[in-house]
Chain A
Amino acid sequence: MSDKIVDIEAAIAVIGDGATIMIGGFGVPGTPFCLLDELVRQGPKGLTLIKNDANENGMGVDHLLLGNQVEKLIVSHIGLNSNAIKLMNEGRLEVELCPQGILAERIRNAAAGLFGFLTDIGIDTTLAQDKPRFEIDGQMLLLEKPLRADFALIHAAHADPLGNLIYAAAAQNFNPLMAMAANHVIVETENLTEPGDLSPEAIHTPAPFVDRIVELPELTEDYGVVRR
């Protein structure tokens, strides 16, 4: 059997204080809630989290924020989490805001072993203030730097023991990008198959990117449909 398969306690135990962690998901779909809950239970502090959003109050990242485990968020928005907004406005949480597609591209850039890229997105806005500028062929552009992490926490609908992954519907989002951009990639999956059960043509994340796989015995209610 593959040595990538571990229990959830061992999977998260490698994460220490001060780690930088990428977390998949856009809203509920694709967020690895069980891995996050275990991170809350084990309690490392001083974390930098890279994620699209800060989830909603009472779920996922929110538990880490309320436990004072997070020093910095690098996100595209935090609009659905009033705790994150409050902590930011009180100066107790550093928040780096990044246009959503630029966040994705900075992650992909690191994943591909590159060292930044030039873009005109946000160039006339306050988000451009501290970014180096370059004029290329008469056009002023901003330098965006790659984002790499110590760990990535990924939610996959299906995984095989080698670490090949398939995501469901809109649960894909940032997961395949983050699964390429961290030094140590930890995956939780709803369905651990036998080798060869996943079609090679359907694989979203190929096995060499994945270090650890946790099979979820069941999904918590965080994964369900949210009634607003």
Chain B
Amino acid sequence: MVSSDAKQRLIQRVSREIEAGMTVNLGIGLPTRVIDHVDHDLPICLHSENGIAGVGPSVAYGQADRNLIDAGGSYVSIQPGTAFFDSAVSFALVRGGRLDLTVLGAFEVAMNGDLANWMIPGLFTPGVGGAMELAQKARRVVIMMTHCDKQGRSKIVRECRLPITASACVDRIYTDLAVIDIVAQGLILREIAKGISLDEVLAATEAPLQVSDNELPTF
């Protein structure tokens, strides 16, 4: 189990990915919560697959517009400059390379950047939604997930065992234990969560991790 404190620090750390001027898509679940930690004045454009550029903060049921949800089904608001469009336009924006960043969840990430986040045969078969296009076409793909699954097995693996969403697409992994970059040479450990030792990170990671000799920052 990941403590709520560790989860909060993870969300806060990922929120530093988001910079002024970016067009960003946040995946369903934990990634959606990243926006709560982004400065409201920061000029960014939040994209939602169901046809919104400029998603505003989510709203309580009492204030909800029945026609205004994000792709995860949360009721959201608009902002000055919000645009609505159809699903073909929405994915032209994705495939055409206009997404600077997507933050997605994952079941497994392989050391070459392969991502598995859309199905677990026999157990979880909801369909693919927009995951393949986001993973394949966003300019930067970062993953936000627990380091290990509920059985304690590493989700950072040598090769994905589950059906992949897209190959060699992940640039960086954020977990409750560490921040890890994926480069041509493999995985590089960049940061460690507060209170976690290097040995704990190494023990929880199936794939080989490259570690610099310098002291690593914490988050």
- A-to-B contact residues, CB < 8 Å: 26-30, 52-53, 75-80, 85, 88-89, 95, 97-105, 107-108, 119-122, 124-127, 157, 168-177, 204, 223-228
- Taking CB atoms, residues of chain B closer than 8 Å to A174 are 86-87
Q: Are A100 and B129 in contact (CB under 8 A)?
A: yes
- Taking CB atoms, residues of chain A closer than 8 Å to B163 are 125-126
Please choose the segment from B62-70, B150-158, B201-209, B210-218 that sits at the chain A interface, where 4 or more of its residues have CB less than 8 A away: B62-70
Contact with A along B191-203 (1 / 0, CB 8 A): 0000000000000
Q: Are A100 and B66 in contact (CB under 8 A)?
A: no
Cβ of A104 to closest chain B Cβ, rounded Å: 4
Q: A100: which of B49, B75, B165 is its contact (CB, 8 Å)? A: B49
- Taking CB atoms, residues of chain A closer than 8 Å to B61 are 225, 227
Q: Are A168 and B67 in contact (CB under 8 A)?
A: yes
- Taking CB atoms, residues of chain A closer than 8 Å to B137 are 121
Q: B67: which of A79, A95, A169, A176 is its contact (CB, 8 Å)? A: A169
CA distance A29 to B65 in the complex (A): 10
CA distance A40 to B92 in the complex (A): 35
Q: A26: which of B87, B127, B166 is its contact (CB, 8 Å)? A: B87
Q: Are B127 and A169 in contact (CB under 8 A)?
A: no
Return the chain B residue nearest A89 by Cβ. B125
**B132 near A: Cβ within 8 Å?**
yes
- B-to-A contact residues, CB < 8 Å: 48-52, 61, 64-71, 73, 75, 78, 84-88, 90-92, 94-95, 125-133, 136-137, 163-167
CA distance A224 to B127 in the complex (A): 25
Q: Are B127 and A79 in contact (CB under 8 A)?
A: yes
Given contacts A168-B67, A170-B52, contact A120 B136 (CB under 8 A): yes
Q: Are B130 and A170 in contact (CB under 8 A)?
A: no
CB-defined A-B contacts under 8 Å, sample of 8: A26-B51, A29-B69, A77-B129, A79-B127, A101-B92, A168-B67, A174-B86, A223-B66
CA distance A223 to B86 in the complex (A): 19
Cβ of B80 to closest chain A Cβ, rounded Å: 15
- Taking CB atoms, residues of chain A closer than 8 Å to B88 are 101, 104-105, 107-108, 177
Return the chain B residue nearest A107 by Cβ. B88
Most buried by B among A76, A89, A108, A223: A76
Q: Are B128 and A127 in contact (CB under 8 A)?
A: yes
Q: A170: which of B68, B136, B167 is its contact (CB, 8 Å)? A: B68
Q: Are B125 and A171 in contact (CB under 8 A)?
A: no
- Taking CB atoms, residues of chain B closer than 8 Å to A227 are 61
Given contacts A79-B126, A88-B125, A124-B166, contact A224 B90 (CB under 8 A): no
Return the chain B residue nearest A227 by Cβ. B61
Other 7 A-B pairs with CB < 8 A, given A26-B71, A76-B129, A101-B94: A76-B127, A77-B128, A102-B133, A104-B87, A124-B166, A169-B65, A170-B84
Given contacts A101-B91, A170-B84, A172-B86, contact A224 B66 (CB under 8 A): yes
Cβ of B118 to closest chain A Cβ, rounded Å: 8
CA distance A75 to B127 in the complex (A): 8
Cβ of A108 to closest chain B Cβ, rounded Å: 5
CA distance A173 to B49 in the complex (A): 9
Return the chain B residue nearest A126 by Cβ. B163
Given contacts A80-B73, A177-B86, A223-B66, contact A100 B51 (CB under 8 A): no
Q: Are B84 and A99 in contact (CB under 8 A)?
A: no
Given contacts A26-B50, A172-B85, A225-B61, contact A101 B130 (CB under 8 A): yes
